[in-house]
Structure 1
């Protein structure tokens, strides 16, 4: 082959490869006009959607999510609940029987699309359960914009999961995932997962939403209310502007958000407070004896945002609303829907902290949680443990904030029901297995990394990850790139074992031989996940001496950790089952020898990690 041609070919392929791997994200602008028939729990919608294709691909079809089509007997969500029985999501069933199967005919969820047009021309569309496939008349070329207009009507469903009418605390309407929402398109293609009950994904979008509803209603939403003087609840000087049908129009806007959610009730009270160097916070709830804990929660929510901003990164939106609604707790853009009748202050604050933590993950670091629920739920759970440990310090001292999560994981591994965290969110066969894989193992993914690389390095990783990827759609590969760069370690092995398998960590103190001037300890790897090992001895006078045994696969060793100074020993090859260390202490000098005094390593049999010297 001609050498000059080979150089040109290499150059061209290099450009194509760079284009294929370059990051991009789509963008949308929604302009909606909504007219709510509150007595009949229906509404009419008109929408103009301006959609920008920032990808290098020409698009011939687009997809929309129609989530409410799931809330009816015989839907895919209903089928999944019936097939799983008592192993499924307890909120969707009663004694293993699907709640969706008994939804009354007039209360079935429905999003009836009248028509959709592209630049004024009618489009052919097909509704496939909760997905609408739309064939474009004019292909949408790379780096170009098109406009979709559409009209639809909807039936607000019987409240089963997250959205719907008349929830169990008496909230009239929880309006979440309530409009035809364009699906995300990225390097992996269209994110067109059916709505089976778990997670969501969407492109970042701007919203301008006008909602016409009976003037006696108060609306809580994620966004900025543009006309507080025209509606009820937000400004004492308001002069409600109603039309001849006694309806008021609420206009909400939001920028660079994944979705727009709202709830409406005639008995809502609106309270607000501003956090120094943080967002304005709105509480929208039915104020009563049952919700008295909301008032007590305010200083805790204030500290939550301050802790998050300092430890991980600044909240990027101007406000955040906690809205009483839904069926438990679920995060949306700039707001969350939660049940409000808390039994304890710690329980209510814990729910607020978890859903508020999602605003940093599901909304700002907008993972595809249908594919990687362990990143969204797990990283949020890590924030939970970190923050709640400071808001409600335990009465008895514990080694670290994550001990409870480790115990939950260890106990579940003994059931034999564990499923890999890599599984898609809706495709876990057991509800508890999903929770452990996504919430707990995702949490412990970070805890184990802190153990491997040192907590100072992990803190730098979390801050840099947030800084680089806020308001984008990162993957675990993006996170690992930063983790490896900051730590200098090869960590691919750990990611593989922890996320893709159900292998476990199990180390032990196998043998101790006492000499006249020293003690020789043999450690054993009994598990299937190799790890570096922190090993310590405690002397009779309560002095702790720490040693670090690196794992050869990381190639760079941990140099410091907040749990004490340590001496670094020779590395432990991952193929080697035993490791021997000699310490300059005699039996008479020693009190305890053991692995992981900090109790961060998720060892499934911690009982054999410690030996009391007698």
Structure 2
């Protein structure tokens, strides 16, 4: 009787499929498994996801000198850019980014801001004042002053083209701007009891990227879309009132000129200490005789950083300053440091910032790729969280788990997109999503799990996946609805990598591939296809079905158990893919004696159709079968992934 019932169930499925084929002819799911974008190799990029021997990218080296007028809140100075054209074509002009021009009433960003506002609100009384523009090719070229400014873009022309394959050019100009108080949650100034805190980012004219994919990348700076920048070396000097402290991307080059002897000694002590050391304690903020080498006028702080895509800095007379040593896998040591006002002080708040910074940098360096810069600095400001090479701006009111989370997230961005230089303005998921993913493991590792991470609890996001207004990961950040941006750029791609590591590939294969991707594309410009190709080639798995379904689609996962029946002395699990995305099926089988076993059924079962009969060969009585027992998949139907008891009783 049991076998007849089992046969009847299987036969009915076969008849149903047969009837369908009679109507439609032979069909399969090849569309789910085939290629979805052009991923073949090109002249500059290989099909294995590496730069080819013909890969090129241009270089921009900067020398910058600026002075802060604290009374007028104006930063002014000069930038000189040494530009190298490594492309195979001559360049008659170059494009630069003038991102401070976002802070004007008629900027594209201002005019596309919703009336009710959103996170990326900004002041409208700023913008760059540009003068003394000079551009020349080589060391002896004639000087051109021809340029055009349109919104946040600046085009500079030369009297003769920059030669291909290594040609050099120099562009210089003076610039100034009023520092916005509200800087789109990326930069700006904050008034605290002891004075102003200035957080400087997007503060100098910078080169746009000319690459092998788009040529000039000239998308305007609107708000949600971030940055895409060339790599180079930076030498910059910041002149401020004598009582200010300045921290910036890279290495402080003149500590003896800007620090008192006492502060130099403390600085050296911090560089050798695993415990946080005060450079300026809370009760020394105003004690300039102890901490500063002079008591009047202005003073210049000098910084350098190599092979970076950007620099940022902060300055204030209100800073508490502490620091500690970071230990890197190579044996090198660098400095973690934090600056914050007394409003942020406290053991439950910013007094732990340097501890958090040290742990974050050490974890990512050990797990993925060694941190390349001399300092890792956390700055308390009126900014929710924003990252730059070796320097973060985080909310000055953050405390406890919140401060850990934002500090760790912003430092994680040093790997994506500071080391791996993807195009944030188009593919936010390649930095925000990847960073959200590595933050999960950093949080689990910190202080033996002091704080929690729930990125692997993927089904808690099902409300979004079932929302009719959801958007795909491939939606550009400036296009995505602001209510969806957190899922589109951060959570959904992060969940995708969780699935890939914990469910599809396993940690060993995933880690080998992900580390190789970072190393291969360090200080270069990968595209999405490069990531897909490289992960597949190193992990040894065709994942087109996954990239298409999760990263370039908007469908959902719904694996189901339609039934479990005894058959020929064993059991048959009748599986179905009721969702839009095929997935391997991990089954956990529990037997009457209490024992359990797991079986992974490969994704290829869905190539020919959406149902599959899987045989469990056993001489034990099966009492339950569960799909995805660890709940790694964000399966949208919680009611069909478990078979709780036998349908048929042998008695």
Q: In which range does the TM-score fall when normalised by the shorter chain?
A: 0.7 to 0.9
What are the Cα deviations for residues 547-577 of structure 1, in whole angstroms up to 9, with x where unaligned? 111122xxxxxxxxxxxxxxxxxxx032411
* Distance change (3 Å), C-alpha of 1:239 and 1:217: closer
Pairing 1:362–2:362 present:
no
Q: 2:204 aligns with which of 158, 179, 182?
A: 179
Name 1:154's counterpart in structure 2. Answer: 177
What are the Cα deviations for residues 376-409 of structure 1, in whole angstroms up to 9, with x where unaligned? 000000011111122276799x9x96333x2354
SS of aligned partner of 2:484 = helix
Name 2:396's counterpart in structure 1. Answer: 340
Q: How far, CA to CA, are the matches of 2:588 and 2:577 in structure 1?
A: 17
Deviation at 1:496, TM superposition (A): 2.0
Name 2:154's counterpart in structure 1. Answer: 132
Q: 2:76 aligns with which of 33, 40, 44?
A: 44
Name whichever of 147-156 and 161-170 sits farther off. 161-170
Name 1:197's counterpart in structure 2. Answer: 223
What are the Cα deviations for residues 451-490 of structure 1, in whole angstroms up to 9, with x where unaligned? 2222210011111112211122222222222211122221
SS of aligned partner of 2:588 = strand
- The answer on whether the counterparts of 2:545 and 2:581 sit within 8 Å (CA) in structure 1 is no
Name 1:206's counterpart in structure 2. Answer: 233
- The answer on whether the counterparts of 2:420 and 2:522 sit within 8 Å (CA) in structure 1 is yes
SS of aligned partner of 1:73 = coil
Q: 1:109 aligns with which of 126, 135, 158?
A: 126
Name 1:568's counterpart in structure 2. Answer: none
- The answer on whether the counterparts of 1:115 and 1:122 sit within 8 Å (CA) in structure 2 is no
Q: 1:498 aligns with which of 532, 540, 550?
A: 550
- The answer on whether the counterparts of 1:357 and 1:383 sit within 8 Å (CA) in structure 2 is yes
SS of aligned partner of 1:427 = coil
Q: How far, CA to CA, are the matches of 2:114 and 2:223 in structure 1?
A: 13
Q: 1:227 aligns with which of 254, 264, 267?
A: 254
**Which runs of 5 or more residues in structure 1 are unaligned?**
1-13, 93-98, 553-571
Deviation at 1:298, TM superposition (A): 4.0
- The answer on whether the counterparts of 2:624 and 2:644 sit within 8 Å (CA) in structure 1 is yes
- The answer on whether the counterparts of 1:291 and 1:340 sit within 8 Å (CA) in structure 2 is no
What are the Cα deviations for residues 317-364 of structure 1, in whole angstroms up to 9, with x where unaligned? 222111112511111011111113223x21111111101110111100
Pairing 1:436–2:487 present:
yes
Q: 1:165 aligns with which of 157, 174, 189?
A: 189
Q: How does 1:444-593 map to 2 (within 5 A)?
A: 444-450=495-501, 451-514=503-566, 517-552=569-604, 572-584=605-617, 589-593=621-625
Name 2:316's counterpart in structure 1. Answer: 265
Name 1:323's counterpart in structure 2. Answer: 379
Deviation at 1:21, TM superposition (A): 8.1
Pairing 1:375–2:430 present:
yes
Deviation at 1:74, TM superposition (A): 3.5
Between the two proteins, the alignment pairs up a number of residues equal to 560
SS of aligned partner of 1:108 = coil
Pairing 1:314–2:342 present:
no
* Distance change (3 Å), C-alpha of 1:73 and 1:258: same
CA RMSD of aligned residues (A): 2.8
SS of aligned partner of 1:478 = helix
Name 1:274's counterpart in structure 2. Answer: 325
Q: How far, CA to CA, are the matches of 1:279 and 1:16 in structure 2?
A: 35
Name whichever of 70-79 and 53-62 sits farther off. 70-79
Name 1:24's counterpart in structure 2. Answer: 56
Q: 1:384 aligns with which of 436, 439, 455?
A: 439
SS of aligned partner of 1:139 = strand
Q: How far, CA to CA, are the matches of 2:356 and 2:293 in structure 1?
A: 36
- The answer on whether the counterparts of 2:91 and 2:162 sit within 8 Å (CA) in structure 1 is yes
- The answer on whether the counterparts of 1:291 and 1:342 sit within 8 Å (CA) in structure 2 is no
Deviation at 1:304, TM superposition (A): 2.5
Name whichever of 304-313 and 258-267 sits farther off. 304-313
What are the Cα deviations for residues 522-547 of structure 1, in whole angstroms up to 9, with x where unaligned? 11101111122112212344432111
SS of aligned partner of 1:425 = coil
What are the Cα deviations for residues 162-190 of structure 1, in whole angstroms up to 9, with x where unaligned? 12222689753111011111111111211
- The answer on whether the counterparts of 2:381 and 2:395 sit within 8 Å (CA) in structure 1 is yes
* Distance change (3 Å), C-alpha of 1:322 and 1:239: closer
Deviation at 1:519, TM superposition (A): 2.4
Pairing 1:251–2:302 present:
yes
- The answer on whether the counterparts of 1:110 and 1:157 sit within 8 Å (CA) in structure 2 is no
Q: How far, CA to CA, are the matches of 2:632 and 2:554 in structure 1?
A: 18
SS of aligned partner of 2:626 = strand
Q: How far, CA to CA, are the matches of 1:534 and 1:74 in structure 2?
A: 55
* Distance change (3 Å), C-alpha of 1:368 and 1:289: closer
TM-score for the superposition, normalised by structure 2: 0.80
